[in-house]
Amino acid sequence: ARQGAFAYCSQQYRVVFGAGTSARLGEESERLGIKRALVLTTPEQQDLGRRLGAGLGDRLAGLFAGARMHTPVEGTNEALGIVESRDIDGLVAIGGGSTGGLGKALALRTGLPHIAMPTTYAGSEMTPILGETANGIKTTQHSQDLVPDTVIYDVDLTVSLPPHISAASGLNAIAHAVEALYAPDANPLTSLMAEEGIAALARALPRIMTAPADAGARRDALYGAWLCGACLGAVGMSLHHKLCHVLGGMFNLPHAETHAIVLPHAATYNAAAAPEAMIRIARALRATDAPQGLFDLTRRLALPRRLAEIGMPEDGIARAAEMAVRSPYANPRPVERVAIQDLIAAAWRGDAPA
Ligand code: NAD
């Protein structure tokens, strides 16, 4: 493409943002014409689902607290049974990416109106993407029908997210924005969102570590997560997301921590090939160097720094590199097996960026 040319496609969704906004669930459901809502949560967030579901009054028709990581199809089918037997006409997913995945899987199959109320910083609510698992195999679907009609970002719901999980989840969000800045289909609008999203999270996360209930910090973090999620939903992801997908799948590593550990190394790999992106990332982090700034942030947040400490075996490094170079995503720097193996080894050991 000619220098400076771009295409941008906006998505159709309504966002309601701010502390206490979950009190508006009833009116937002009414807006979508929902009369018999099914509330979705994980088992851990069942009480939250019951409390917020009460705000639906007569519009509450059921609670399914069986959302699970990686959206297993068995769980989706169980929830579908409830949708049919209770005559459900709308979906309310309250939780992180796992619950969001179930909401999307049901919306895809039923076409019902769909509200998401995120409680982590993963950003699934902003994307037309769904990862599902059947018989241990993960498949990914893309459809604009997966984006919720309404997203209620109630800052109060995030206060209970423990600081170390907030930090990892926040780095997961920052990773979306970092890769959006050097995406093949990057455009001025997503780049604005990306830089602002990184800045808001980088400002908020250290404060959350020392004062988890700080309202301003929680607000900034969720605002940043929204912007970063919007980046993930709008442009293609590159090497970093591919690596996390491969590592998570091969060794069953925790999703958000894997992102936090790999990100400074993926940025190091791409730095020379994406100088403009690095300038914006560094500016957002108030750092002189982007990879070093990302690494310093993970250190400040006391996040794990070595893939070794979250369960990756050393003999997996070569196997993972092999997988990662197979059908690679578009990336600013060519994806080469030896260099990728070095990257993974550095992340396994927890080296500082070179
Ligand atoms: P999660 O949804 O799995 O939640 C992790 C745990 O934290 C759960 O037990 C949950 O009940 C609990 N929890 C969530 N919010 C809480 C809160 N505010 N207070 C206390 N506990 C809380 O974790 P996640 O990181 O949000 O999502 C990860 C999953 O989402 C992965 O499977 C990932 O692949 C998927 N994901 C998908 C997309 C997409 O676009 N499709 C984007 C990002 C993540």
Q: Supply the ipTM of this predicted assembly.
A: 0.98
Q: Which SS3 state, helix, strand or coil, does residue 152 take?
A: strand
State the distance from the centre of ligand 1 to the C-alpha of 100, rounded, in angstroms: 8
Tokens of 325: 């170079």
- Provide the residue ranges of all domains of the chain, joining segments of one domain with +: 14-158, 163-349
Burial class (CB in 10 A: 0-12, 13-18, 19+), 272: exposed
Q: What is the pTM of this model?
A: 0.96
Top mutation candidate among 11, 22, 40, 45 for ligand 1, by most atoms within 8 Å of CB: 45
How high is the pLDDT of residue 183?
97
- Smallest CA-to-CA distance from 291 within 280, 305, 300, 281 is with 281
Contact 201, 225 (CB under 8 A): yes
- What is the structure's pLDDT at 138? 84
- pLDDT tens digits, one per residue of 105-122: 999 999 999 999 999 999
The phi-psi region of residue 309 (left if phi > 0; otherwise alpha if psi is between -120 and 50; otherwise beta) is alpha
CA 99 to centroid of ligand 1, rounded, Å: 7
Q: Does pLDDT of 2 surpass 80? A: no
Do 240 and 206 meet the contact criterion of CB atoms below 8 Å apart? no
Total residue length of the chain: 354
What secondary structure does DSSP assign to 300-349, as a single string?
Answer: HTT----GGGGT--TTHHHHHHHHHHSSPPP-SS---HHHHHHHHHHHHH
Question: What stretches of 134-274 show up as alpha helix (H) in DSSP?
Answer: 163-181, 188-210, 215-234, 239-251, 255-270
* Domain 163-349 bears CATH identifier 1.10.645.10: no
| Domain covering 14-158 assigned CATH 2.60.40.10 in the classification | no
Q: Pick the more confident residue, 139 or 290.
A: 290
- Ranking 8-17, 168-177, 188-197, 208-217 by mean pLDDT, the lowest is 8-17
For a pLDDT cut of 70, what percent of the chain falls above it? 99
Query: Which protein residue's CA is at the shortest distance from atom 39 of ligand 1?
Result: 124
